[in-house]
Structures are given as C-alpha cells and as structure tokens.
Chain A
C-alpha cells in the first residue's frame, strides 16, 4: 500500500504517542493506511500503557466473536408487563427497578466506580439509567464507559488494563468465553453472591467458575436456535419444525425444490459458515446434537476426534451448494439473517437477536416464521451453544466491595426482568425466564426451555481459548469447503492437542 494520506498517518502517530488510541486501534488504522510492519510495530510500541481510552469505537466489528449478544429489542413497543412487584412498569426503558441491596451498598457511600458497560444503543441507555438509579439509592458514584462494540477489541482493551494491574476499571462486562482467560485478574464473587448463586442457570455458573472461583455473575444469555418458515412448512405439508437433522435435510430439499420455481435464489438452510468464532458455535451444536460430544472436555482432554462428529460434518458439507447457498462458507450472523429475512431461506440457525428484527416492519417474513430447538439426531439431546455476558469485578479495583454491590444490583431478578421486557435481553435466572410477562415478550424462552445449553471449551483452554477455537473453525471451514471430514477432524484434534500442549 502506498502512503496515501500523510494527515491520517500524522494523526495516527499522535494518537499512538499520546495514548489516545488503543494498540488495537493503532494497529487497525495503521494497517488501513498501509504502513509497513516495522512502522506499525513502532506505533504499537509508542502506545503507552495508560488506560482511559476507547471512547471512539464505532466500527461494525469485523470478524468479531460469534456471540451477537446485543439484543436490539424495540423497547418502546412492548406492552406493559409484570405487575407482580407492586405496580412497577417493567416495560419503561427509562426507569430501572429499585435497588434491593441499597442498605448494604450504602455502607460504601462516597466510593466511585468505573464500569465498562454496553456499547452504544439501547444497552448503553439502560446502563446509564441503572447507574443513576444506583447512585441515588446508595451514594456510590459510577462512571459508565461504553466498551468497544467489537468483542475482540473489548478483549484486548481489558487485557491491557489487566496487564498493567490497573485500578481504573472496577467492574465490567465479561463475554461467556473469557472467564478462563481473565480468571487471575477477576475477583471471586461466590462469597458475595451466597445462596443466590443457586438461582442462576447452572451451566452458565459452571462456565464462570474457574478453579472454584466465581469470576462473573451471569447477566444476560444467548443460545443458538432454529428459525423456520411456518407458512412454507404448512404449504408443503409439514406439521411442525424438523426433529432431526435428517428431517431438516428432507424438508429443506422439498421446500427448496418447490420455491426455486419462483425464486432461483431460494435456499433451504442458512447458517454461520465463515471461518470465525460463530462457526465454532455452529459446529459445536452440530457435533453435540449428533452424538459427537464436545471439542474439549472439562478436564482438558480433546474429545473432538470421533466418528459421529466426522459424520455430521460430512453431512453438512454435502449441504453446501445443495440446500445451503454455496457462499454459506463466508456467512456470518447478518448474512444469514439477510437471506432469511428477505424470504430467501426456509431455515436459519441464529441467535435470539434475529427474532425481534424478523418481526419488524421491514421484514419480508414478519408473522410467517417461528423458532424451534435446533434439530438433533435421534438419541441425542437438542442443544444450543451458550453465548452471553457476565458482570465481573476487577481484582485490582480500589473499591471491590462497592463494585460487588453494583454487580449484584445489575444481575438482580428485578433488573433482569426489566431488561428482558423493556429491551429483549435474555435472563440468566430461570425464575425470571419463566415469568409470564417475560415469556409474552419473548415466546421462544418457553418453547426452548428444555434445550441443553452447550458451552465452548473456554474454561479448560483458559487463555489459549482463541487458539483452540481458531484451529476448530478453520478446520471446519475447510471441511465445508470440501476437504475430507474424517481426516480434517483428526487434524483439528491434533492441532488442538498441540495448542493445549
């Protein structure tokens, strides 16, 4: 690349030297400007270790984590729900519930906290409202800093703060795959949570527990599910969603054959096939729902190399170009959603966020689709890969107790109910998820309640998780692109064993 823009480069250098940009920012911008590797290394080295930055991240998040956890619910449209906590209106986005732990929290009145919360949009609005409510009730000051939208970018921001053992971040959002990487930097919350620990979903609690230490309180969840066209299912004589992957194949083939007559670009099934974190989520669902078990078990043994896993991957390889578009091996969440929402696919694997968008005014399939558990081969459970975010407290915080109180408020039942109804954030407490008012807002919570949540191997892999996941999704992407499934699965397992060493 040429030196195309001296002004930009100057600004970049200034940003790097003054510390206004994170290393990742610098890297990204430098690369965009076409600087050479040594020059980029120079800039990265120039980035100081100072902390309060990252307020200018608005990029769409290229290749970020597969957990599209931000739910873009249209908060104002919900009908008034709840009512069992007095007359509180859970659908009002501007008014968070009362602070139940205000009495204990008031002991730390006067403390001030820095909270790395949700990025722009509805999540940030809710964060600000909750912080204000908490300050009024307890006298604890809270500065809300929107984390970078791109999860990978958030990861490297935290990494730098932790490496410097900085007290500038007290409490933060933690992705479901990060507990293993950040465990040594996060405070143990099990004692603070006490008996309440039992009222969260067990799988998520397990995921957040590293060597007996609870490093994050589950905040909101995510899981993979099957979207299907109810109108087409009926038209072609099916009375419900597919039970097994074989059923899905058969239904998708029939529907696609019929629909191709009207629209040459109609496809049976779309999913996330690109070589990125999202494919790790999809792949784990395929193997777990076909008797292929996990990638790595909780003791760190690589369990990927088995005939069932290879068989289901081979089946899905056969779909590419037949019932799935040939380009599916480059699809991420939004590519799949575009195809489905434009009426060009009969089935889609995606996260809950696509539900409210699919019912929106600009959707071609509004009212004509439903969600169901992902298919499972007979003898196996229906599964969904767990995504979602936790609230963690930094080990290096100067006000750990106050931060823990705020964490308890954020994850409390009332707040989760409010966030679920007002903004479609999936609760992490079964008791909230089963609340009629919440189910009215998100009907799939009930129909998918029995789905087994499978977790990516972030706990056993620890800070090697990104490498393990990359080896997995790269190999899987190659299978989808035509490489021999059995051989690739064994290569992938070998690579992962090498990484975990």
Chain B
C-alpha cells in the first residue's frame, strides 16, 4: 500500500494514460493478493461443497454403495418434476412462509414501536422481549408440542375446561386443519423478537427533530407514523423481510420435531434430509437441495430488484 501511495502523485503528467493503467494493474494485483486468503476459505467451505452437491445431483449416488456414483444426467431433475411429494413440500413451505412473515412483521412492528417509546422499565422490556428468541428451536418446539397435547396440554385445559371456548379438546398438531397454524404459531412466537429487534434498529436512526417539526406543523400521531416513520423505516423493513423469507423457506427444526416424517406437513428441507439420511439417496437428495437453492434464489432476485427500485 505504501508503494502505491508513493506512485499515486506521479500519476498525473504526460504519460497519464499509460501510467494510470500500470497503476490499475498493480492495484488489481494487490487487491487479488489481499483477497486470496478469503477466496481460498470460500472455495473450501462454500464453493467446493456446493459444486459437489451440484455434481452429485447428476448422479445416482447412494450412501453405503460400494460401486460409487454413476452419471445419470438429468434423470434426478426429471423425477423431481414429477414428484408430487416434493411439490407438496414447496406448497407447505411457501404457505408457512407467508403466514409467518405477515404475522411476524405486524407483531414485530408493534413491539418495536412500543419498546422504542419512552416508558419506565424500557431496558428490562427490551431484554425480556428477546427470551423466546434465545431458546433453541428444538427445545421450544418440544415445549409447544406438549402445550398442544390433546390430553394434558395447557391450551386445551385453558380453552376447554377453564374458559369453555371450545367444547371438546382439539388435537392441535394431529388435526390437518390446525397443524400448519400450530407450527406457524411456534415460529411467530420465536421470531417476532428478532423482527422487532431489526425494526427497532431502523427506528432508532430516525432523527427526533423530524418528529418535532411534524408536531410544530400540527401533524397527529397517525400522520407522523404514515408520513415519517414508515417511509424512513423502509430500508430496515426490506432487510428484515429478506432475512425472514430466506429463513422460513429453509425451515427444518420446528417441523422435524413436531411432525417427523408426516407428509401433509413436510417442508422442503425435511424432505431433502429424509431423502439423504433415511433413504441414503445422496444423488436425488442433492437434486432436491439444488432445487431448494434455486427456489430461494428466485425470492432473492425478487427482493433485490424490489430493493433497487426502492433506491432509485
């Protein structure tokens, strides 16, 4: 770097274009040199396995198969197009994603606005709000599964025996009509704090004097929210939505704990895991993983283009 700095001032003069090109080249070289360690790490931990997954998706590789993988071209992908079970997992995952993101966004925004306002015990509130987020998903999923139990679960006890809202116990997890909502509730409970935290960070960078000016101009609270808070919060909202969408699309643990290998409530990631681990079909499982990757990529592209529009 020091060398470059020394060369830089001499860059202006007659030999300008030539010298500048030299400089660019040398800068590029240094940049590559500095990037090399990172690139190596990325190659080892990301590019290689990703490449291997893509390669395996074109083979009939099975675990514990002594023959080794055989190239079968697009067969796995052809099968994937006809695999109703996989199509169902996409549908389950997308529905789950929409339900949870809408609910988490609305609740998270409310929570963020509340803890952003001035009140006694705000610090305590901000800490307490994070508790669901701090519990490992496997643990919270099991906890909720017990609470949902049809015989001794607390929800049935509360709604049926104590409040009398329902007249007989409901099997929240077992009943196909409730199952997806039940699992969505666990995710909403757990992840709303995370959404609130991201939105809170967005709220805190909005300068107080804008509100002051608004008050002077006679804007009421609702107008302040729609004209100031919401527009200025858009960058934080977009980041939050991207985060949550991608997370929801590859949801695994909460479904795995609550439903195991049940077909009508299986998300994409559980299907891939089941194919690779229980069925030992590494080849087909890799094709599923690649498909999940592509589906998530579609959502990323949608978001990124929306984000660009937002900026211009």
Residues of A within 8 A of B (CB): 1-2, 4, 13, 24, 27, 31-32, 34, 36-39, 41-46, 62-63, 152, 156, 159-160, 162-163, 165, 181, 184-185, 264-265, 267, 273-276, 321, 325-330, 339, 344, 463, 466-467, 470, 473-474, 477-478, 481-482
Contacts and interface: CB of A to CB of B under 8 A. Distances in A.
A194 to B, nearest CB: 30
A463 B277 CA distance: 13
Nearest to A475: B263
Given A162-B64, A327-B149, A27 B174 contact: no
A37 B247 contact: no
A304 B117 CA distance: 64
Contacts of A329: 171, 174
A273 B150 CA distance: 14
Nearest to A5: B136
B278 A2 contact: no
B306 interface: no
B274 A163 contact: no
B300 to A, nearest CB: 12
B63 interface: yes
A344 B153 CA distance: 14
18 contacts: A2-B247, A31-B253, A31-B256, A34-B253, A38-B46, A38-B289, A44-B49, A159-B64, A162-B64, A163-B66, A181-B64, A265-B169, A274-B260, A275-B260, A275-B261, A326-B174, A329-B171, A477-B263
B194 A330 contact: no
B48 interface: yes
A481 B176 contact: yes
A466 B194 CA distance: 38
Contact of B46 (A39, A466, A474): A39
Given A463-B62, A478-B263, 5 more contacts: A1-B137, A34-B253, A41-B289, A156-B277, A474-B261
Nearest to B46: A42
B264 interface: yes
A24 B261 contact: no
A406 B264 CA distance: 47
B223 interface: no
B279 interface: yes
Interface centre among A27, A325, A327 (most CB of B within 10 A): A327
A470 B138 contact: no
A34 B253 CA distance: 8
Contacts of B63: 156, 159-160, 163
Given A46-B45, A156-B63, A37 B278 contact: no
A474 B279 contact: no
A42 B49 contact: yes
B64 A325 contact: no
B243 A470 contact: no
Q: How large is the interface on B (under 10, 10 to 19, 20 to 34, 35 or more residues)?
A: 35 or more
Interface of B: 45-46, 48-50, 52-53, 62-66, 133, 136-138, 149-152, 161, 169-171, 173-176, 194, 243, 246-247, 250-253, 256-257, 259-264, 269, 272-274, 277-280, 286, 289, 292-293
The 6 closest A-B pairs by CB, nearest first: A327-B150, A42-B49, A327-B171, A326-B171, A275-B262, A63-B260
Contacts of B64: 159-160, 162-163, 181, 185, 463
B257 A62 contact: yes
Given A163-B66, A327-B174, A470-B274, A45 B262 contact: no
A265 B152 contact: yes
A9 to B, nearest CB: 11
Contacts of B66: 163, 165, 184
Contact of A37 (B194, B264, B292): B292
Nearest to A185: B64
Contact of A276 (B169, B175, B261): B261
A1 B247 contact: yes
Nearest to A328: B174
A329 B62 CA distance: 32
A325 B150 contact: yes
Nearest to A36: B250
A273 B259 CA distance: 12
A470 B259 CA distance: 13
Contact of A326 (B45, B170, B292): B170
A159 B50 contact: no
A27 B277 contact: yes
Contacts of A63: 256, 260-261
B54 to A, nearest CB: 10
A334 B296 CA distance: 38
A38 B293 CA distance: 8
Contacts of B171: 321, 325-327, 329-330
B36 to A, nearest CB: 19
Contacts of A4: 133
Given A38-B53, A159-B63, A477-B263, A45 B48 contact: yes
Nearest to B248: A1
Contacts of A1: 137, 247, 250-251, 253
B92 to A, nearest CB: 14
B278 to A, nearest CB: 5
B285 to A, nearest CB: 10
Given A32-B136, A45-B49, A326-B171, A24 B289 contact: no
A62 B49 contact: no
Given A41-B53, A62-B257, A326-B171, A32 B138 contact: yes
Contacts of B252: 31
Contact of A34 (B46, B49, B247, B280): B247
Contacts of A62: 256-257, 260
A46 B49 CA distance: 8
Contacts of B251: 1
Contacts of B133: 4
A163 B269 CA distance: 25
A165 B67 CA distance: 12
A42 B312 CA distance: 37
B65 A477 contact: no
Contact of A327 (B46, B151, B194): B151
Nearest to B156: A265
Contacts of A45: 48-49, 52
Nearest to A155: B278
Nearest to A321: B171
A290 to B, nearest CB: 24
A76 B196 CA distance: 55
B279 A37 contact: no
A37 B289 contact: yes
A329 B280 CA distance: 26
